[in-house]
Amino acid sequence: KKKIAIMTSGGDSPGMNGVVRACVRMAIHLGCDAYCIYEGYEGLVRGGDLIRKMEWHDVRGWLSEGGTLIGTARCMAFFERAGRLAAARNLIAHGIDAVIICGGDGSLTGADRFRAEWPSLIEELEANGEYTALQLEPYRHLNIVGLVGSIDNDLSGTDATIGCYSALARICYAIDLIEATASSHSRAFVVEVMGRHCGWLALMAGVATGADFIFIPEKPREDNWREEMCGIVEQHRKLGKRKTIVIIAEGAIDREGNKITPNMVKDLLADKKGLALDTRITTLGHVQRGGTAVAYDRMLATLQGVEAVRAVLEATPETPTCVITINENKIVRKPLMEAVQDTKKVAQAIENQKFDEAMGLRDTEFSE
């Protein structure tokens, strides 16, 4: 019987449980044994009871649960060959040679590295005398498939990552709440949302709530951003608007690459002559990551989980490691490292202040 393991890694996102449920049940449906690796790569390296066989009923009710019920962790040991050797040993001890990983670009990079190194890890186990060549024969290749779990929607090559629409819904809900009180007191609110390298959440929340102004890393504001923002806010106020909402992504910067902070924006709105708005800052923080997955993320998690099991069973030693994406409403398999490298290019472009290039590399196009 083929044994397939599922794990979640990196930052948690709503929908990860839906992924685990779909993978476990699809694997069982296709006559395989399903395993969960608890605590991300930490569980793979430590083994023992962190690798558990799962039955159909073990994942009952998981579809709507937020976070990841099998845990996630950052694992330094997996950056080292010794850690990955321990991981290989643990997988073989359980008879597993197919792994599905749901995580961000770091986790997927680690997965691809592990798969590429696998043959030499197996040879090392044989050279150590831990297993004979005959025992290792069924484990010459490791098949890995990636799924993208992230609230930031920051992986290139997919229209949506699992969790991003839940986080967006939560941000919109929070801003709706803030708007009621802002309007009552005629106040301004600067709302900080997650997104160090990717402004998708801030951008889409801005569109969905009709915010007055947004700041995102890919499109740094020009030197005159102070005048520009105050001018727009003033104009909106003149039109009778009693509330001001400015959304700022964590990674917001200006053209010189200097950080733009919520405090800077607040001080400006409060101190600017003619505006002098009673301004508050709301940092949404981890509220954005918590809670149940919205319908879209449950659907994405389920359809992609099913596809991941198919992909891991169909993979051959020759096929490059794939990641399951969604493009124009179709679930698609793509070479994992291409998606990861394209993602890194965006971060690099922002770092090198090549902002137009960064915007061009993003899948979402918009104009002001």
Which residues are near ligand ATP by CB under 6 A? 9-11, 41, 74-75, 78-79, 103-107, 109-110, 113, 150
Q: Was 152 annotated as part of a binding site?
A: yes
Residue 212 buriedness (CB in 10 A; 0-12 / 13-18 / 19+): buried
Question: In the complex, what is the shortest distance from the CB of residue 11 to ligand ATP, in angstroms, rounded to a whole number?
Answer: 3
Question: In the complex, what is the shortest distance from the CB of residue 10 to ligand ATP, in angstroms, rounded to a whole number?
Answer: 2
CB nearer ligand ATP, residue 113 or residue 236: 113
Q: Is 33 a catalytic residue?
A: no
Q: Was 75 annotated as part of a binding site?
A: yes
| Largest distance between two CA atoms of the chain | 81
362-366's contacts with Cβ under 8 Å and 24+ in sequence apart are 362/156, 362/200, 362/218, 363/156, 363/157, 363/158, 363/159, 364/200, 364/203, 366/203
Q: What is the C-alpha to C-alpha distance for residues 362 and 198, in angstroms, rounded to an integer? A: 9
Q: Which of the following is catalytic: 152, 154, 212, 297?
A: 152
Q: Was 104 annotated as part of a binding site?
A: yes
Q: What is the C-alpha to C-alpha distance for residues 141 and 130, in angstroms, rounded to an integer? A: 18
CB nearer ligand ATP, residue 4 or residue 164: 164
How is 13-71 classified by DSSP, letter by letter?
-TTHHHHHHHHHHHHHHTT-EEEEETTHHHHHHH-GGGEEEE-GGGGTT-TT--S-TT-
CB nearer ligand ATP, residue 268 or residue 347: 347
Residues 6+ apart with CB under 8 A from 174: 191, 282, 284, 287
Question: In the complex, what is the shortest distance from the CB of residue 243 to ligand ATP, in angstroms, rounded to a whole number?
Answer: 32
Q: Was 159 annotated as part of a binding site?
A: no
Question: In the complex, what is the shortest distance from the CB of residue 37 to ligand ATP, in angstroms, rounded to a whole number?
Answer: 12
CB nearer ligand ATP, residue 43 or residue 220: 43
CB nearer ligand ATP, residue 9 or residue 302: 9
Q: Was 151 annotated as part of a binding site?
A: yes
The residues facing 281 across adjacent strands are 190
Q: Was 299 annotated as part of a binding site?
A: no
Question: In the complex, what is the shortest distance from the CB of residue 129 to ligand ATP, in angstroms, rounded to a whole number?
Answer: 27
DSSP, res 280: E
Contact 201, 220 (CB under 8 A): no
How is 293-336 classified by DSSP, letter by letter?
PPHHHHHHHHHHHHHHHHHHHH--TTSPPEEEEEETTEEEEEEH
Buried b / exposed e along 334-358 (16+ C-beta atoms within 10 A): bebbebbebbeebbebbeeeebeeb
Question: In the complex, what is the shortest distance from the CB of residue 103 to ligand ATP, in angstroms, rounded to a whole number?
Answer: 4
CB nearer ligand ATP, residue 107 or residue 288: 107
Task: Give me 25's structure tokens.
Answer: 């049940």
Which residue's CB comes closest to ligand ATP? 106
Q: Was 42 annotated as part of a binding site?
A: no
Q: Was 194 annotated as part of a binding site?
A: yes
Which segments are annotated as binding site? 11, 74-75, 104-107, 150-152, 187, 194-196, 250, 280, 286-289
* Active site residue ranges: 152
